[in-house]
Amino acid sequence: MPFREILNRLLEPGERVLWEASLARNARDIRRGADIVREGDRPLSFYVVLEGWAQKYRQLPDGRRQIVGIFLPGQICGLDLFTVARHDHSLAALRHASVAEVGRAELCDLLQRCPNLSQIFCWSELVAAAIQREWMASVGQRTAIERVAHLMCEIFVRQGGERASGACDFMLTQRHIGEATGLTQVHVNRMVRELRRRCGAELGRQQLRVPSFADLAAIASFDANYLHLGEADRIADLAYPLFDARPEFVAAAPLVGREGILRLVGDGL
């Protein structure tokens, strides 16, 4: 289930109108490769990808870069506004993108008027953490061809794929794939050619074509459970006690996800 379908499922119609109006009002274009936020900056806004793709990355002093997250249209790019004093990563457009940048005051108002947004935020962060664990397992345990195949499978499924055959958008270059999987660009090129030979998966013109998803998934040992795409309601409900237990939310009401977030925003964290 693509992320926009999660929004449709969890937001009431009136909330959906307010949410989309806020995103449209705060949209701005980002050129290819440009940073949206930079490591060390103070979080002042909340970001949602409207068009194009974005990457979250860490860069070492010598320029080496590790991509630690890929964000597709409709997705929230993290909740640093609520949790940290400084960004510990950078966020950039993979290709030309449109991104909504919602400031603190407006987001506080949205949370008051759209209580179900707290579920969206909670679900988004839980799934982001699950994806991070899977990427860590890939870098630590999967072979080079398994890593590349697994990333292809994930991108395919996150866009509503997992069909017997078909295609999806794929904005990553081979350099991006290497930075996401811990491989050199030369090694990625070899793996892409080998996947084309073994299962017909092919990259070209910002598209991934997958004649047999089952064959690609078998190479990657891919299991989509970590994406939790059919569990948005349950995950959001189960997450509220996690917020209840935190000191910042002592004495909060039952819908502590929303109220707790509002308190953090008000405190300027």
In tens, the pLDDT along 198-222 reads: 999 999 999 999 999 999 999 999 9
The Cα 243–Cα 263 span in angstroms is: 12
- Structural domain that includes position 257: 3-134+229-267
For residue 269, what pLDDT is reported?
Answer: 44
Identity of the highest mean pLDDT range in 3-12, 37-46, 242-251: 37-46
The string of pLDDT tens digits covering residues 138-168 is: 999 999 999 999 999 999 999 886 555 589 9
Q: Indicate whether 173 and 239 sit together in one domain.
A: no
184/250 same-domain check = no
| Number of domains present in the structure of the chain | 2
Give 255 or 208, the one with higher predicted confidence. Answer: 208
Distance CA 187, CA 175 (A): 10
3-state SS assignment for residue 50: strand
On average, the pLDDT of the chain sits at 85
At 85, list the tokens. 């004093």
Which of 89-103, 110-124, 181-195, 199-213 has the least mean pLDDT? Answer: 110-124
Is residue 27's pLDDT more than 90? yes
Boundary of a domain, candidates 203, 220, 237: 220
What pLDDT sits at residue 77?
86
State which of 202, 220, 238 marks the end of a domain.
220
Residue 17 confidence class, pLDDT cut points 50, 70, 90: very high
Walk across the sheet containing 90-93 and list its strands.
35-37, 90-93, 54-59, 65-71
Read off the pLDDT of each residue in 106-116 and give the average, rounded to a whole number: 90
User: pLDDT-derived band of residue 255, with 50, 70 and 90 as boundaries?
Assistant: very low
CA dist 209 and 241 (Å) reads 42
Amino acid sitting at position 147:
R
Same domain, 33 and 108: yes
- Distance separating alpha carbons of residues 169 and 205, to the nearest angstrom: 9
Distance of CA 211 to the CA centre of its chain: 26
Query: Which residues, 6+ apart, have CB-to-CB distance to 83 below 8 Å?
Result: 264, 269
Look at the block and give the residue holding tokens 């949206």.
Answer: 36
Whether residue 106 is found in the same domain as residue 203: no
Say if residue 197 is in the same domain as residue 150: yes
Q: Looking at the structure, do residues 14 and 129 belong to the same domain, yes or no?
A: yes
DSSP of 129-183: HHHHHHHHHHHHHS-HHHHHHHHHHHHHHHTT---SSEEEE----HHHHHHHHT-
CATH of the domain at 147: 2.60.120.10
Select the more confidently predicted residue: 106 or 243. 106
pLDDT of residue 12: 87
Q: What is the pLDDT of residue 182?
A: 96
Antiparallel, parallel or unpaired: β 27-30 and 35-37? unpaired
Query: Within its chain, how far is the Cα of 90 from the centroid?
Result: 14
Q: Do residues 169 and 210 share a domain? A: yes
Domain shared by 106 and 159, yes or no: no
Do 54 and 118 fall within a single domain?
Answer: yes
- Please tell me the predicted confidence (pLDDT) of residue 238: 61
Do 250 and 128 sit in the same domain of this protein? yes
At 131, the pLDDT band (50, 70, 90 cuts) reads very high
Same domain, residue pair 189 and 172: yes
| Residue 192 contacts residue 152 (beta carbons within 8 Å) | no
Both 63 and 178 in a single domain? Answer: no
Q: For residues 78 and 138, which has the higher predicted lDDT (pLDDT)?
A: 138
